[in-house]
Amino acid sequence: MESVPMNLTCSECGKEFPFGTLGRCPGCEGILQPAYPEQSVLGLKDIRNGEGIDRYRSLMPVSRPIPFLGEGNTPLIPSRRIGPAFGLKHLYFKHEGCNPTGAFKDRGASLVAALALEAGAEGVVTASSGNAGAAIAAYSAAVGLPCLLLLEPGAPPAKLRQALTTGAKVLSVQGVFSHGPKASGDMILNLAAALNFYPGFIWAPVNPYLLESMKTVSYEVTNQLSGVPEVVVSPVGGGDLLTGMWRGYLELKRAGVIPQLPRMVGVQSLSASPLVQAFRKGLKRIETLPCANSRISGINVAFSGEHALQAIRSSEGTGVGVSDEEAFEMQRRLALEEGIWVEPAAVVSVTSLRSLVEQGWIKPHERVVCLLTGAGFKDSKLAEAEAQAISAQSPVPFDVNAIVAEVDK
């Protein structure tokens, strides 16, 4: 099985570039996208079970096998209580927290490892708020490459521990993202060139190849639902996941696997919502915010990619902002009512449903898939005080009556 993208095409001006090009279109600043022959796309008619994303290599920008640590094939879980409470008959949760390092970034990281080996790189360099760094560190270790991770100060300790445990060299870099998208991207590309490392930055304006891994979410959902949902709701940071899923659905429709396309919904914190603001203002470009003030790690972003904005508009979708407090409350509710523990960034997709249903934007009969992008251990203070209190309390005697008395309190 081989991937055969012949070139890259600018999503705005249509200019073609040779395979291997990084960064944006130098002419119009558009985002580049790999192009695949019709034969590869038509192969989606035979969506087959298998391990990892390597089974879709004919629609990936790499020819060598993509390493497998257990990524992909994440469960699509029907809602038992939250859906009915919102009046939705067909609500599903795509639980990306079940990936090996606990987040959807594992899909991109597996492709990073394969591309780094194919390029003959001596290592991998990336910048991250946490999840991407943990994923790339793990997959770099799996293929025997060193990993340099530039971490945003204040990243959750659980994510930092993951990267350190798998051998990454971690540097906390002041302002790694706050200098703006171009400066951050140039830093990664220049470091990669200086060190002969592969630029494993999972954001299409810097590395246009890694987003292709996110198409596999759409392939899987189509297989799991035996069809296409009317609505797909995703948290948005940089925007690669939402855009990748949209590209996946476009390919599925082009192949004749699905008859129509879903509406894509991008959700951000109201305290860090560059994409949502651009959507509401009708802007073509997303303005970088002076600062991002969300307490939700992973989506506390000052900038997003316009590729996600284009995907939302092309799909006749929408952008939604939710408060941090609403997200924290939904995190608790999802755990209590559905038994699913995810990090706050993951649950903003579910948080947005109330307003979308109340506005009539989502109809009760429509099939809705919410992306849950990361597991709860990634960043959670949920029940932290209660856990500390239990650890500090005096133990109950080894006696049935004593235990029953505690239960009845």
For 388, counting Cβ atoms within 10 Å of its Cβ (0-12 exposed, 13-18 middle, 19+ buried), the class is exposed
> Left (φ > 0), alpha (ψ -120 to 50) or beta: where does 330 sit?
alpha
| Closest of 1, 234, 192, 297 to residue 96, by C-alpha | 234
Instruction: Specify if 350 maps to a domain.
Output: yes
3-17 average pLDDT score: 83
Mean pLDDT of the chain: 92
Task: State which H helix or E strand residue 407 sits in.
Answer: helix 400-407
Instruction: Specify if 49 maps to a domain.
Output: no
pLDDT for the residue 153: 75
Number of domains the chain is built from: 1
35-61 average pLDDT score: 87
Is the pLDDT at 217 greater than 70? The verdict is yes
pLDDT for the residue 15: 95
CATH code of 341's domain: 3.40.50.1100
Question: Quick one: pLDDT band at residue 49, thresholds 50, 70, 90?
Answer: low
| Closest of 290, 271, 267 to residue 279, by C-alpha | 267
Is the pLDDT at 6 greater than 80? The verdict is no
Is the pLDDT at 5 greater than 60? The verdict is no
Question: Quick one: pLDDT band at residue 180, thresholds 50, 70, 90?
Answer: confident
Is the pLDDT at 2 greater than 60? The verdict is no
Provide the domain limits for residue 88: 76-102+210-378
Instruction: Specify if 40 maps to a domain.
Output: no
Residue 335 tokens read as: 């755990």
Between helix 306-314 and helix 274-281 the angle, nearest 10°, is: 50
Q: Please write the tens of the pLDDT for every residue from 298-350.
A: 898 888 999 999 999 999 999 999 999 999 999 999 999 999 999 999 999 99
Residue 117 tokens read as: 């080996």
Instruction: Specify if 174 maps to a domain.
Output: no
Instruction: Specify if 329 maps to a domain.
Output: yes
Instruction: Specify if 158 maps to a domain.
Output: no
Instruction: Specify if 205 maps to a domain.
Output: no
CA dist., res. 378 & res. 313, Å (int): 31
Instruction: Specify if 262 maps to a domain.
Output: yes
First-to-last alpha carbon distance for the chain, in angstroms, is: 63
| Cβ–Cβ under 8 Å, residues 299 and 345 | yes
